[in-house]
Structure 1
Amino acid sequence: MKLGYGLLFILFSVWFFPSVSGAVSTEQESDIERMALYKKTEAVTGISWTFFAAIDQYERQIHEGKPENRVTAFRPDPLFWEGIKAEPGFFPNGWGDNGDGNNEIDQTNDEDILWSLGSYLQSYGTTEDDIRIALWNYYKRDLTVQTIMNTEKVFDKFQTVMLRDRDFPLPIEANFSYNNTWGDARGFGGRRMHEGTDIFANYGVPVKSTTYGVVEMKGWNKFGGWRVGIRDIYNIYHYYAHLSGFSEDIKVGDVVQPGDVVGSVGSSGYGPPGTSGKFPPHLHYGMYQDNGNREWSFDPYPYLKRWENEAENK
């Protein structure tokens, strides 16, 4: 079965993601192997591969690199794997189990780990709500659960983990300008740091999603005015602020992809709902990384320059 899935996904990858030379890249090979493992686990557990992929994708972002000689990144908590022998808990007997048929329970074996994860999820049930509860009992963090569930929605819609395309947030043909303004001082609402890059453009210029993700926030913020927040599959929150309006059909919970229009450039913010015109029209674009414990702002400027260059070269 493993070889069959591997061959299927190699053919899929070559067809939809060809490199310049026609060969499959190392990243694509890794994705192919991951997909094969997720699909195999789905077949034996009855739980959609997209949940295993989303959990594993989250773990890939909160650890530095995947474990050696592993394709997946999920690192079972010792209590999850071995259980609590002396006192009761959520994992009293442990969930470590054999998944590859060799009768050895190995915490460094991808199939054993995913099978054990599947057994744990099955113990709660197989509905979306059941899995959400299971995840909360494991991670004990609402944002983590929401991020995993959002990533699952993205994988479910596109039916692949091979989602590396990106886009510049404004049409490349539009008249825009920007510099690296991350970290600059801001005065409205008290002394604070500028947590983003300002891209100046005319009123009404379309604002696009730069990534695959789910709309997590939409509405008014006294600093950012009309704004949209999108959480991507890399635990990054993308913040689009000072909009003049939203795309008519965009709503919280929607899955988006690079190039989807979410709103338009404006000058809203710095006051109660409806305040506008206190500064020139521009898009404030921010990026916030989550590591499983906390979330922080980082400089989006290098990414914007890369995406601008890529858009120009298409």
Structure 2
Amino acid sequence: MELFTSMETITHIPWYYLAAIDQYEKSIRAVRDDLPKTNGLISIYMPNDKWVGPLNPDKNDRAPLSIALFNGMGKDGNGDHKADQTNDKDLLYTISSFLLQYGVDDDNMKIALWNYYKRDKTVLMILEKAKIYKKFHTLNLDEHSFPLPLQYNYSYRSTWGDSRGWGGRRIHEGTDIFADYGVPVRATSYGIVEMKGWNKYGGWRIGIRDLNNTYHYFAHLSGYAKNIKVGQVVKPGMVIGGVGSTGYGPKGTSGKFPPHLHYGLYKDNGRTEWSFDPYPSLKRWEIFDKQRKLKSKQSRS
């Protein structure tokens, strides 16, 4: 945070945009082996050709003047007269200088990010992260919650990958949590509502993207919590809807199966998105909620 806020003071790029870019790059590096890992506090990585300039004969050039001469992006951010792509301050100052060419308002930031990443979905995810960081004024947003309150009766097991027949042969991309109709459904992470509405498979459903590029999918809802809308920032434990049995038919279809929450997780790596088994995460978050509940009870006694 100190690095981000100090760079904001120098460049006037809001700290939450820098934090969002860094978090996006950190998340894609965690799930891709073809991208180099970074050693500093900052996870932003810039390829050497882009840093020194594609026509620069010195691929190890660290002189800001000659880098600029060859249209390289690398800049000196810490005042040592070197443009070092492994230095946190140099990296942040370089990406900030690129963004400053377009402006610091939201619309120009969107244009700058697209020109840098050339992918609409990446731009969307970075802007979403910036909105989350701006809302909570902190980087410490790693908390999670189980999607149902623990005081209700519910049951679940690992059902990811099971076969499904309605609408054609396909696999089950989630875990079903069975509970009574109307039991509150909660956000499991800090994130932003990317999708809300009906489809014939999931019925009434909500999709929330978190800070790690993970998409949390809640389906078969009985309805939505009041004022939940696309673009809204949410936090763990916030009620977003209720358990239902909607789906498997045209809009409004309900009751074709016992009420339950279909909960799915999807990971984006900067190129594609895929489903992965949410069961281990659900078990971990359930344990965390039980521990928090116990600590809260002990503190009151």
**TM-score scaled to structure 1, two decimals?**
0.85
Query: Residue 77 of structure 1: which of 18, 22, 47 is its match?
Result: 47
2:92 and 2:264 mapped to 1: Cα distance?
Answer: 35
1:64 and 1:168 mapped to 2: Cα distance?
Answer: 24
2:15 and 2:195 mapped to 1: Cα distance?
Answer: 27
User: Residues 203-214 of structure 1 correspond to what in structure 2 (within 5 A)?
Assistant: 203-214=181-192
The reply on whether 1:193 has 2:171 as its aligned counterpart is: yes
Query: Residue 296 of structure 1: which of 255, 274, 278 is its match?
Result: 274
The reply on whether 1:36 has 2:2 as its aligned counterpart is: yes
SS of the aligned residue for 1:217 comes to strand
1:211 Cα deviation from its structure 2 partner: 0.1
1:134 Cα deviation from its structure 2 partner: 0.8
**1:134 maps to which residue?**
112
1:36 Cα deviation from its structure 2 partner: 1.0
1:250 and 1:46 mapped to 2: Cα distance?
Answer: 32
Taking every aligned residue pair, what percent have the same amino acid on both sides?
Answer: 57
**1:18 maps to which residue?**
none
AA in 2 matched with 1:170: L
Gaps of 5+ in 1: 1-34, 87-91
CA RMSD of aligned residues (A): 1.6
Query: Residue 254 of structure 1: which of 224, 228, 232 is its match?
Result: 232
AA in 2 matched with 1:43: T
The reply on whether 1:239 has 2:217 as its aligned counterpart is: yes
2:50 and 2:255 mapped to 1: Cα distance?
Answer: 54
1:68 and 1:118 mapped to 2: Cα distance?
Answer: 18
**1:215 maps to which residue?**
193
**1:45 maps to which residue?**
11
Q: Which digits, 9 at most, give the CA deviation of each residue in 1:139-192, with x for residues without a partner?
A: 111111101100000100111111111100001010100000000000011100
SS of the aligned residue for 2:206 comes to strand
1:79 Cα deviation from its structure 2 partner: 4.5
1:113 and 1:308 mapped to 2: Cα distance?
Answer: 39
Q: Which digits, 9 at most, give the CA deviation of each residue in 1:20-68, with x for residues without a partner?
A: xxxxxxxxxxxxxxx1111111110001100000000000011149845
**1:123 maps to which residue?**
101
AA in 2 matched with 1:181: T
Q: Which digits, 9 at most, give the CA deviation of each residue in 1:261-286, with x for residues without a partner?
A: 11000000011100111100000000
SS of the aligned residue for 1:63 comes to helix
* Conserved 8 A contact 2:29-2:37: no
**1:102 maps to which residue?**
80
1:204 and 1:160 mapped to 2: Cα distance?
Answer: 33
1:310 Cα deviation from its structure 2 partner: 1.1
**1:227 maps to which residue?**
205
1:69 and 1:224 mapped to 2: Cα distance?
Answer: 42
2:50 and 2:197 mapped to 1: Cα distance?
Answer: 39
1:77 and 1:36 mapped to 2: Cα distance?
Answer: 25
* Conserved 8 A contact 2:38-2:45: no
The reply on whether 1:145 has 2:123 as its aligned counterpart is: yes
Report how many aligned residue pairs link the two structures. Answer: 276
**1:20 maps to which residue?**
none
SS of the aligned residue for 1:167 comes to coil
2:266 and 2:49 mapped to 1: Cα distance?
Answer: 30
